[in-house]
Amino acid sequence: MLPATASMTVMLLTVAYYALRRQTDHNYFVNVPIPVNGSYFDFIIVGGGTAGCILAHRLSTRLNASILMLEAGGPQSVITDMIGNTQYLIGGEFDWNYHVQQQHYAGLAYPNFTISRGKVLGGTSTTQWGIYNRGNPNDYDNWSQRYGLTNMTWDMVLPFFLAYENNTDSSLRFNGYHRSGGLVSVSTETEPDPVLLNFRTLMNTLGFSTIDLNGGTQNGTAIAQMFYNADTGIKSTTANSYIESINQTARITITTRAFVERILFTNNTHASGVVFTRNGTEYHMFANNEVILTAGPINTPQVLMLSGIGPRIHLQELNIPVVRNLPVGNNLHDQVFVPLYYRVNNETLRQVDPYPRFDVANLYGYFHNASGPLAHHADGVTYYSSSQNSNATSWPDTMIISVVEFFNNLNATVSQYASNTEQWRRYWTPYANDGYYLAIDPVLARPTSRGTVRLNATDPRSAPLIDPNYLSNQTDFEALLDVTMFVVRALQRYPLPGVMQFPPIPGCPIVGCLTETLCEMYLRCHIRQLARSYYNFAGTARMGLANDTAAVVDPQFRVIGFDNLRVVDASIETPSNGDMASIMVNIPNSRYCSSDAISLDNLALIETDTRLVSEPNKYERQNAVTLMIVPLMKFCAIIDNSPMTRMDESDK
């Protein structure tokens, strides 16, 4: 029903005005002429995603440097702004739509299931849900100790998390774990679905206290803060936050829909430029200082291998001249989850339809006052230490995500399965009739299973071969089984109002969770059939010290053997939990890049005040925008081996 306070004409005009205004903002930096073939830039950034946008912002605003950033996807749109529409960005025009290779230990119900990687300015920060979760302090301390990266401890990285944050929740931003004034808006969801509140209450009953996910402990449950601004309803992506905040006079050129084919080298030790195609035309662009790969943990190894940097045998099999024999594409890992689908009795829980339809009323509410289902999305997060976790509750190894999801297309849902399609149609038909359901997703937060990325062909447009090797380590499987058993039994013993028990899935001979023993037998089958990607990939160009034979990148983010080719994204193996670490990595790491290339002694790269860096221990220890903060932090932290402690007045 349309709001009584506005006529149809007013609503349509409002929607048209704000949609055009937002799209104009998105298009501003990409509506520029393609550079003349053979042009030179100080820096060439390959990948305009989560990491690339931050790095482009830092280098262009803090240096008088010319930047070329190449992005395979297009600009953002008003559709990607809407956090309530996130579910429908996956698998569409803003997604690479990659498939993984047939798995042997997980996802057996699918022939080769899809994974989501953003193919748009802002990358996966644009297309993913946007849970604001920095991860656990132990993630960073362990990463630092394991690989000898002394500047990656939690005490060292926390100031950079605080630096970028603009928390709109006044009850949190002065508690020592949050702040306002940064470029990335974070807000508390004001309209979580009642079923999520009921699930949080159940977790409270079972001993999990309500926490701030990014506060003093992760041993508890929460309705997560999200990467969006509750006042405007606009999702906080790195393109929104970093690119659209750049001064119009900045010397940055962003070329979208550009497919990078390979890196150009001089003497096989110096990256001189790149080759890319756009609309069928091949371009050669050259770098005065550095070529920086920020294409993500799938596409960065692809570009490296196409350029002759990778495992010698694999490159020789494809007749690619070997420039450097390095273990590129190894060590792929990803969080994995198992979906549990619970039907919800709509009428008992909600007074309004939460479905984010693109109708006039919803669009008007979104643009007029950031209201309605397009302006809201909530996720519940509960951390759980499984029986396989040797670190007790201080470093949980699994988590439980609770979210209301919407059913869109029965035929498309059924078509994803390898067999039992008629049984799956009968399974999903009641959910399709309901329109939405409660998804409870137990997640393996710290997987030990490792896989690979390999080239499928020498054509950069050909999708790489992605084999995460999910749950190949039995410890991973047992940890996921434990948390899944916990949540299933909890909802059996303490049913939520209006929530039905999930039926057993096709393909599992056990009838379900009738007894404890039968439940374990059934869930072992359920997990093997349905466990799949949680879209937090990392590790395919791992960082390490000089004597580390598994390393691709050194602690200065340089590809080993090259003086000006760097990788600054989750490929270097950032701690778990997605885009947040990616942001944190890039803020300081752009400083590192500039130290070697341009050497500005007074470069200062974080918007915060001096005490956040000079007094890191003041803040107690505490993810996907988080994954890129870590490498960027390190990348910017060291100039000529000096500690990062000085900031200009403009950085406060």
Structure tokens at 540: 């395919």
| Secondary structure class of 328 (helix, strand, coil) | coil
DSSP secondary structure string, 22-45?
HHHHHHTTT-SPPPPTT-EEEEEE
What band does 5 get if pLDDT is binned at 50, 70 and 90? Answer: low
Contact (CB, 8 A) for 553 and 631: no
CA–centroid distance for 430 within its chain? 32
Give the three-state DSSP class for 154.
helix
Question: Do 389 and 479 touch, CB atoms closer than 8 A?
Answer: yes
> Within 10 A of 357 (CB to CB), how many other CB atoms are there?
15
Mean pLDDT of the chain: 85
Burial, 313: exposed, middle or buried (Cβ in 10 Å; 0-12, 13-18, 19+)? exposed
| Contact between 274 and 285 (Cβ < 8 Å) | yes
- Residue 644 clears pLDDT 60, i.e. is over it: no
> Whole-angstrom Cα distance, residue 273 to residue 303?
13
* Span 571-625, pLDDT tens digits: 998 765 555 555 555 555 545 554 444 332 222 333 333 223 333 332 222 344 5
Non-local (6+) Cβ contacts of 303 within 8 A are 46, 260, 262, 263, 293, 295, 460
Distance CA 496, CA 476 (A): 29
For the residues 426-433, what does the mean pLDDT come to?
92
Please give the Cα distance from 635 to 41 (Å, whole number): 20
> How many angstroms from the chain centroid is the CA of residue 223?
19
Write the pLDDT tens digit of every residue in 328-356.
999 999 999 999 999 988 654 554 566 78
Angle, to 10 degrees, between the axis of helix 629-637 and the axis of helix 580-597?
A: 20
Instruction: Please tell me whether 15 is known to bind a ligand.
Output: no
Q: Centre a 10 Å sphere on the Cβ of residue 534 and count the other Cβ atoms it contains.
A: 23
pLDDT of residue 634: 54
* Mean pLDDT lowest among 112-121, 283-292, 473-482: 112-121
pLDDT band at 319 (very low <50, low <70, confident <90, very high): very high
Name the phi and psi angles at 256, rounded to 5.
-95, 165
The DSSP result for 218-229, as a single string, is -SSEEE-EESEE
What's residue 646's pLDDT? 31
337, containing H or E segment: strand 333-337
Helical packing angle, 629-637 and 154-164, nearest 10°? 100
Percent of the chain at pLDDT > 70 equals 85
Q: What is the pLDDT of residue 297?
A: 95
Query: What is the band of 248 on the pLDDT scale with cuts at 50, 70, 90?
Result: low
Task: Please tell me whether 403 is known to bind a ligand.
Answer: no
Cite the beta strand spans of 59-129 per DSSP E. Answer: 67-71, 98-99, 114-115
Pull the structure tokens for residue 578: 């997605």
CA distance linking residue 160 with residue 430, whole number of Å? 47
Least confident of 239-243, 335-339, 408-412: 408-412
How are beta strands 114-115 and 98-99 bridged, if at all? antiparallel
Q: Which two tokens stand for residue 373?
A: 């289902």
Give the global pTM: 0.89
What pLDDT sits at residue 179? 93
Q: Nearest to residue 621, comparing CAs of 215, 281, 252, 260?
A: 215
- Mean pLDDT, residues 393-408: 89
Residue 76's alpha-carbon distances to 10, 127, 372, in angstroms, are 26, 10, 21
DSSP string of 474-515, one letter each residue: HHHHHHHHHHHHHHHHHHHHSPPTTBPPPPPPTT--S--SSS
The overall longest dimension of the chain from CA atoms, in Å, is 71
Q: Hey, which of 157-171, 201-215, 608-622 has the most confident mean pLDDT?
A: 201-215
3-state secondary structure of 157: helix
Write the Ramachandran bin of 15: left for phi over 0, alpha for psi from -120 to 50, otherwise beta.
Answer: alpha
The three-class DSSP label of residue 326 is coil
**Token digits of residue 427:** 């399974």
User: Is 120 assigned to a binding site?
Assistant: yes
- Distance separating alpha carbons of residues 368 and 402, to the nearest angstrom: 29
Quick one: pLDDT at residue 352?
Answer: 52
**Which of 236-245, 365-374, 463-472 is modeled with the greatest confidence?**
463-472
Residue 210 pairs with which residues in a beta bridge? 221
Tokens matching residue 131: 């849970």
E-state strands within 50-172: 67-71, 98-99, 114-115, 165-167
Region 372-393: what's the mean pLDDT? 89
For 260-308, what is each residue's pLDDT tens digit?
Answer: 999 999 999 999 999 999 999 999 999 999 999 999 999 999 999 999 9
Tokens of 619: 């803040």
pLDDT, position 3 = 55
CA-nearest of 116, 62, 38 to 603 is: 62
- pLDDT score for 213: 92
* Torsion sign (Cα): 466, 470, 473, 479: positive
Q: Which two tokens stand for residue 412?
A: 């498309």
Question: Is residue 534 a known part of a binding site?
Answer: yes
- Rounded to an integer, the average pLDDT of 247-254 is 80
What average pLDDT does this structure show over 84-100? 89
Structural domains of the chain, ranges and CATH numbers in brackets: 190-223+334-449+472-530 (3.30.410)
Yes or no: say if 125 and 131 are a contact pair by the CB < 8 Å rule.
no
Share of the chain above pLDDT 90, in %: 57
pLDDT digits (tens, 9 = 90+) for 130-151: 899 988 889 888 888 887 777 7
Per-residue pLDDT, 605? 33
CA-closest candidate to residue 144, choices 649, 643, 634, 472: 634
Mean pLDDT of 38-56: 94
What was the pLDDT predicted at 628?
55
Beta strand pairing status for 234-235 and 228-229? antiparallel
Compute the average pLDDT of residues 480-493: 95
Please check whether residue 448 is in contact with residue 353, taking contact to mean a CB–CB distance below 8 angstroms: no
Beta carbons within 10 angstroms of residue 112's beta carbon: 15
CA angle 511/515/521 to nearest 5° reads: 60
